[in-house]
């Protein structure tokens, strides 16, 4: 991995969230990131129907709750919620931290992440199998690099996409960059 970083102007944004359904990458629902310099209101209980949520805490600490069990994250941790689980921060604030989240629908087996059928199914099954493993894992620093590449591609300020010949070409390049970045992230789990 290289030492890829978001441009400084993107760090001034407290919260970035994208509904990626319109991008047309099979299985990818949403991508978000917050960079809070102070604590914020607790995350309210919610679910992701048919989808897994993967949270990567790049820095700081955060508490999540599923089924009355609290999980305490610190920088470098990855936390998983599984399809249809009600989860929240257990009444705790969203802490001063940098947190990324990715919501992936696992109920769409055909063409998962627009990969060739065999590879897409293997990755989808690998994510489905996480349910049998550990909900909270320490994967260390640097996992955000792939996610940062996706955010850069999604930003309207992304330089490489402005110089394309048409809107269609810009969209295809943006979509491909996001898909590859998110696939890279998922393969690191």
* Three-state secondary structure of 58-119: EEEEEEEEECCEEEEEECCEEEEECCCCCEECCCCEECCEEEEEEEEECCCCCCHHHCCHHH
User: pLDDT-based confidence at 185, cuts 50/70/90?
Assistant: very high
Longest Cα–Cα distance of the chain, Å, equals 53
List, for residues 37-86, the tens digit of each pLDDT value.
999 999 999 999 999 999 999 999 999 999 999 999 999 999 999 999 99
List, for residues 75-121, the tens digit of each pLDDT value.
999 999 999 999 999 999 999 999 999 999 998 768 899 999 999 99
Q: Is the model's pLDDT at 164 over the cut of 50?
A: no
Collect all residues with Cβ–Cβ distance below 8 Å to 11 and sequence separation of at least 6. 35
Residue 33 CA to residue 55 CA, distance in Å, equals 9
Give the H or E element holding residue 69.
Answer: strand 69-74
DSSP 95: -
Residue 178 CA to residue 182 CA, distance in Å, equals 6
Question: Model-level pTM?
Answer: 0.88
Query: Under a CB-based contact definition with an 8 Å cutoff, are residues 50 and 84 in contact?
Result: yes
């Amino acid at each position: 991995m290289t030492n890829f970083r978001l441009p400084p102007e993107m760090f001034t944004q407290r919260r970035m969230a994208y509904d990626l359904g319109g991008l047309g990458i099979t299985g990818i629902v949403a991508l978000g990131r917050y960079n809070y310099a102070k604590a914020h209101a607790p995350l309210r209980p919610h679910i992701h129907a048919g989808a897994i949520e993967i949270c990567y805490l790049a820095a700081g600490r955060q508490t999540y709750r599923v089924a009355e069990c609290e999980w305490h994250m610190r920088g470098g941790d990855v936390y998983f919620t599984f399809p249809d689980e009600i989860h929240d921060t257990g009444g705790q604030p969203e802490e001063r931290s940098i947190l990324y989240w990715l919501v992936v629908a696992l109920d769409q087996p055909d063409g998962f992440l627009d990969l060739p059928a065999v590879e897409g199914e293997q990755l989808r099954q690998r994510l489905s199998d996480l349910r049998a493993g550990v909900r909270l894992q320490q994967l260390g620093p640097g996992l955000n690099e792939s996610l940062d590449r996706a955010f850069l591609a999604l930003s309207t300020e992304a330089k490489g996409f402005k110089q394309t010949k048409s809107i269609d070409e810009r969209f295809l390049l943006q979509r491909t960059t996001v898909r590859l970045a998110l696939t890279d992230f998922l393969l690191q789990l």
